[in-house]
Structure 1
Amino acid sequence: MKHLIHTLNKAFDHRVRLGVMAVLLATDAVSFNDLKEVLGLTDGNLASHVAALEKAGYVLISKQFIGKKPNTTYTATAEGRAAFQQHLEVLEKLLRPD
């Protein structure tokens, strides 16, 4: 039998990705600037971690213009929500073994 630690999702190993998903699960959508501010990240750091989550199919990136200003918005996909919820459940089992 596989030990619980090996069932954690590697996509959420990094604290930034864990934070991104936590914020996205708490809200429907969040802008780049709001997410950057909440997590205290640089533009490049946030962009690279969100790109990794997008590649995994966990985050949807929407780009549009509001007036003449670009606006990037992130939402968690259904797959991302399910994967993150499963990740949290494994963490809870590790914290509270029965």
Structure 2
Amino acid sequence: MSNISALNKAFESRVRLGIMSILLVNEWVDYKEIKASLDLTDGNLASHITGLEKFGYIEVRKRFIGKKTNTSYQITALGKQAFNKHINALEKLINNL
């Protein structure tokens, strides 16, 4: 029996997988850093960030550094739990093929 039903639809996109992977291993990550790491456009990144934020999987921090705005992101405890559950379900699915 497959574990496909255990996969989280919020992480079906490769972009969201990338964002969550980056945030899982880093404390806070700047918008520009995520954009460059995943080679994304502003619009593409913004839409996926918004989706993850709506689920409560990431936290957004906006602040000023000097006179420039800085937006950074951090995975939440809920996001970490959901992402780990998704990855574990993927592993089980692969191992059972």
Q: After the TM superposition, which segments of 4 or more aligned residues of structure 1 sit over 4 Å from their partners? A: none
Cα distance in 1 between the residues matched to 2:47 and 2:86:
21
Residue in structure 2 matched with residue 54 of structure 1 by the alignment = 53
The structure showing larger relative contact order (alpha-carbon pairs under 8 Å, at least 6 residues apart) is: 2
- TM-score (norm. length: structure 2): 0.95
User: In the alignment, residue 25 of structure 2 is paired with which amino acid?
Assistant: A
How many residues were matched structurally?
97
Unaligned runs of 5+ residues in structure 1 are none
What are the Cα deviations for residues 39-94 of structure 1, in whole angstroms up to 9, with x where unaligned? Answer: 00011110110000000000001100101101000000000000000000000001
Residue in structure 2 matched with residue 76 of structure 1 by the alignment = 75
User: In the alignment, residue 31 of structure 1 is paired with which amino acid?
Assistant: D
- TM-score (norm. length: structure 1): 0.94
Residue in structure 2 matched with residue 89 of structure 1 by the alignment = 88
User: In the alignment, residue 58 of structure 1 is paired with which amino acid?
Assistant: Y
Equivalent pair of 2:30/2:70 in contact (CA under 8 Å): yes
Unaligned runs of 5+ residues in structure 2 are none
Residue in structure 2 matched with residue 67 of structure 1 by the alignment = 66
- Identical pairs, percent: 52
Residue in structure 1 matched with residue 34 of structure 2 by the alignment = 35
